[in-house]
Amino acid sequence: MTGLSRIFVSAFVLPLIIVLFTSCVSVRSERAKNIIFMVADGMGLSNVTTARIYKNGIDGVPLHLETLSVIGYQRTYSKNSTITDSASAASAWACGEKFNNGEICKHEENGNAPRTILELAKEKLKATGLVVTSTVTHATPAPFAAHVTDRRCENEIARQYVQVTNPDVILGGGKERFDSNRADPCGTSGNLLLEAKTKGYELAYDKAEMEASVAKRVTKLLGLFNNENMIPEYKRISNTTEPGLSEMTATALAILEKNPQGFFLLIEGSQIDGGNHTNHFEYMVKDLLAFDQAVRVVLEWIDEKPLRKGNTLLIIVSDHETGGFAITGPSNTLSRKGDLNSMEVGWVNRKHTGGDTIIWSQGPGSQKLGRSLDNTDIFKVMMNTFR
């Protein structure tokens, strides 16, 4: 090679190779093998502030959910209302379209039912899971694995879980929805539990049975730990047979991680919303902190192996704020760690409110979430990030 040729390679070819290599690495880093989507139902930013003060003090360290590296926010309105409900909000995430309040990824006006991010994950041969503290057929988990025009059709949603979409892991409350003698508004009733067993599900009805299923290395688990919603954290007793959200989260990860193609997992702290709906301070704070412990479990799972951080998109978001919660005092002294009475708080009402909600995220694709978004945009980020 002549001196002139060497100069040409140095000046033009090598920089081009570097650019192409950098581009390839960049593209690769935008792809996620796993998506963990965590929902704090009804949570506003003031709820987070209050829970942090109670747990860690007025100048204490952030909650686990606050440690994620990317922060954005989303608009929450539904197709037909400034104030969304959980069904339309979760449908926007799951299907990437605006829906009317009450619709579960199915438009009543034309019957269109777009595929959900969970269904798209299954098409990629990924494992899938739903983990909640409400009934597993409630308005937030349902849009990821069912299509109905009325959120009250929880028996029908259960039927679709078992007979149609088959999420690998389903954990939460709502046993009666899978074994009902009374038809729901869609006309569905009947016992789905025996059919679930024929579809390969291990059934668990308490914490011990759930833990035993992990020890048996099952690949499909239906855990129903209460006939209705699970017990709120502030009412739980030490010897309860119901697993907590963090324990259900660890179980789901242990099962889903076995799939070499990756997984999609929804985790919902469902009853933060209940605390705000009832204007019950302790109820809200303790369920939010239980949700944050589930975030800790997820972050520890991600950090356990270096490849997981590069392969996992973690998103934490609230569907809407509930109650218009605010910290109103004290004005002349500081609130104290562990003392709810040292904070003065209030709510505007007992209903959902229409404000934007925060998105915390990390991992491949998360930089696209660090700005002002519509809730439908989150589906697009997830869909374009999944590999």
Residue owning tokens 């009934």: 135
CB 281 within 8 A of CB 345: yes
| Amino acid letter for position 133 | T
DSSP letters spanning 301-321:
HHHHSHHHHHHEEEEEE-S-E
**Nearest CA-CA partner of 322 in 126, 120, 41:** 41
Rounded to whole angstroms, the Cα distance separating 240 from 249 reads 17
Sign (positive or negative) of CA dihedral 379, 381, 384, 387: negative
Q: Are strands 312-317 and 169-173 parallel, antiparallel or unpaired?
A: unpaired
- CA 336-339-340 angle, to 5 degrees, is 115
DSSP letters spanning 268-297:
EETTHHHHHHTT-HHHHHHHHHHHHHHHHH
Phi/psi of residue 173, nearest 5 degrees:
-95, -175
Rounded to whole angstroms, the Cα distance separating 17 from 162 reads 51
The whole-angstrom distance between residue 176's C-alpha and the CA centroid of its chain comes to 23
* 155's tokens: 């028996």
**Nearest CA-CA partner of 297 in 243, 347, 353, 343:** 243
Of the residues 86, 88, 134, 335, only one is catalytic, namely: 86
Number of residues in the chain: 387
**Nearest CA-CA partner of 168 in 200, 128, 195, 197:** 128
DSSP letters spanning 108-128:
TTT---PPPHHHHHHHTT-EE
Our answer to whether residue 335 is catalytic in this structure is no
Residue owning tokens 């991010």: 117
Name every residue whose Cβ is closer than 8 Å to that of residue 74 and which is 6 or more positions away in sequence: 317, 356, 357, 359, 372, 373, 374, 375, 377, 378
* Residues with catalytic roles: 86
